[in-house]
Amino acid sequence: MKPEFPRDRLSNVSSSVTGITDVAPKKATIREVIQAMPLRVKLASLWLLLVVFGAVYAKIDTAWFGGSLPLQNPNFQTNGFDRATGTFGTGEPIEGMSGAHWLGTDAIARDTFARLVHGGWVSLVVVVVSAACGVIIGGFLGSLVGFVRGRTETIIMATVDVILAFPALVLLLALVSIFEVRNLFVISTVIGVLSIPAYTRVARANSLAISSREFVTAARAIGTKPSKILFREVIPNVLPTLLAYAMVAAAFVVVVEGSLSFLGLSVQLPTPTWGNMINQARRDIKINVAQVVWPSLALSVTVLSLNQVGDYFQQRRAVKGSNL
C-alpha cells in the first residue's frame, strides 16, 4: 500500500523541489507587454483589433439591430430593392471610391466597405473555432501522449501522421465537398478538426520536453497521480506555447478559408468573405482593380499581422521556457 501524503504537504514539496515559485518572474501587466512590443507588432496588433472590432460590430448590426447601425447592407445593391417602385437601386456597379461608398461598389453595386467589414466575421469565426479545436483537443492529445508515451502515443501519433501526410488543402476540399450546404458552422468545424493534428504535434513535442523536467520528475517521485501531473504540471506549461502557435496557425487558417471562398467552397453566397470578394471582382479587374485589391489587402495584412504577433509571442515564450 502506497504511503499517503497530506495534499498540502505534497504541494509544498513539489514547489520547493522545482523552485519555480521562488524564481518565477513577476507577471507582466498588459501595459508592460504592449510597451515591450516592437512597433511592427504594435501595428499588427492594432490591425487585428480593428478586424475583430469590425467583424463583431457587423455581426451585432445584423443580428441585433437589423442592419440599422451605420454600415450599409452588404448583400443588397446600393439603395436596396425598392418594393414600392419594384425597381433595383440606382447605384452604379464597379464604382470607384466616393463619399457614399468609401471603397467603391462591386459588380452588382454593393458597398465594398460593408462587404469587407462583414467578410472579416467569417475569418474571425473560422480562426477562433480552429484555434479552440486545436488547443483544446490537439493540445490535450499531444500533452497526453508526450507524457504517458507507450502504445497510446504510438496509436495517436500514427493517426496524426496519416492525417498530416495528406496535403492539407486537398483533404480540406474533399471534406468540404461532402457537405451540400456549406455554412459557417460546417466550414469552421471542418477546418477546426483538420487543425488538430498540427496542434497535437506541437503539444507532444513540448510535452516530451516538459515531462523530463525536474519538477515533473519530482512530482512523480513523491507519488503524485499521473493525471494530476498532466493537468497541473504538463498542460499549463504546454499551453503558452500552443497559444503562441495558434497565432501563427491562424494566419494559415485565414489563407485556407480565403482559398476555399475563392473556389466557391466556403460559406454560401451572398455572405461576403474576403475570398469570394476577390473571386467575384477578378472578372472586372480591368475596369476597377481596386475591387480586387481591397479584399486582397485585408487578407494579406491580416495574415502578416497574425504572423508578426504570433512570431513575437513565440519568441517571448521561447525565452521564458529557457528560464524554466
Of the candidates 98, 61, 87, 115, which has an alpha carbon nearest to the alpha carbon of residue 106?
115
Closest distance of CB 175 from other proteins, Å: 16
List of E strands, the chain:
none
Closer residue to other proteins (CB): 81 or 231 = 81
3-state secondary structure of 54: helix
CB of 114 to other proteins, least distance (A): 14
Number of residues that make up the chain: 324
Stretch near other proteins under the rule CB under 8 A, chosen from 81-89, 121-129, 232-240, 294-302: 81-89
Closer by beta carbon to other proteins, 284 or else 311: 284
Nearer to other proteins, 279 or 314 (CB): 279
- Of 33, 52, 107, 164, the residue at the interface with other proteins (CB under 8 A) is 107
Q: How far is the CB of 84 from other proteins (least distance, A)?
A: 9
Question: Of 83, 165, 322, 323, which one interacts with other proteins (CB under 8 A)?
Answer: 83
Q: How many residues of this chain bind other proteins (CB under 8 A)?
A: 30
For residue 176, the SS3 value is: helix
Minimum CB distance to other proteins smaller for 223 or for 264: 264
Are the C-beta atoms of residues 272 and 4 closer than 8 Å to each other? no
Packing angle of the helix pair 139-148, 235-262 (nearest 10 deg): 140
69/287 with CB nearer other proteins: 287
- Site for other proteins contains 316 (CB under 8 A): no
* Contact with other proteins (CB under 8 A) among 77, 130, 211, 288: 77
What is the 8-class DSSP label of residue 39?
A: H
Cβ(264)–Cβ(279) under 8 Å? yes
User: Which of 282, 300, 296, 299 is closest to 94 using CA atoms?
Assistant: 282
Is residue 225 within the footprint of other proteins (CB under 8 A)? no
* Closer to other proteins by Cβ: residue 35 or 87: 87
Q: Contact region for other proteins (CB under 8 A) — 42-50, 102-110, 140-148, 214-222?
A: 102-110
Binding of other proteins by 221 (CB under 8 A): no
The rounded distance, in Å, linking the Cα atoms of 217 and 17 is 10
Q: Which is nearer to other proteins, 259 or 307 (CB)?
A: 259
Residues 171-200 that bind other proteins (CB under 8 A): 180-181
Q: Which of 211, 280 has the CB closer to other proteins?
A: 280
Question: Phi then psi for 285, rounded to 5 degrees?
Answer: -65, -30
Which residues are within 8 A (CB) of 53 and not within 5 positions of it... i.e. 6 or more apart? none
In this structure, what C-alpha cell is assigned to residue 267?
Answer: 460559406
Distance CA 251, CA 259 (A): 12
The interface region with other proteins, picked from 57-65, 82-90, 235-243, 308-316 by CB under 8 A, is 82-90
Q: Is residue 96 at the binding interface for other proteins, with CB under 8 A as the rule?
A: no
Of 138, 170, 122, 151, nearest in space to 245 by CA: 138
> Nearer Cβ to other proteins, position 200 or 291?
291
CA–CA dist 3, 13 (Å, integer):
15
Q: Which of residues 255-314 bind other proteins (CB under 8 A)?
A: 263-264, 268-270, 276, 279-287
**Contact assessment for residue 77 and residue 108, using Cβ atoms and an 8 Å cutoff:** yes
Q: Which amino acid is at 244?
A: A
Asked if 20 is part of the footprint of other proteins (rule: CB under 8 A), the reply reads no
Point out which residues bind other proteins (CB under 8 A).
75-77, 80-81, 83, 86-88, 93, 106-108, 180-181, 263-264, 268-270, 276, 279-287
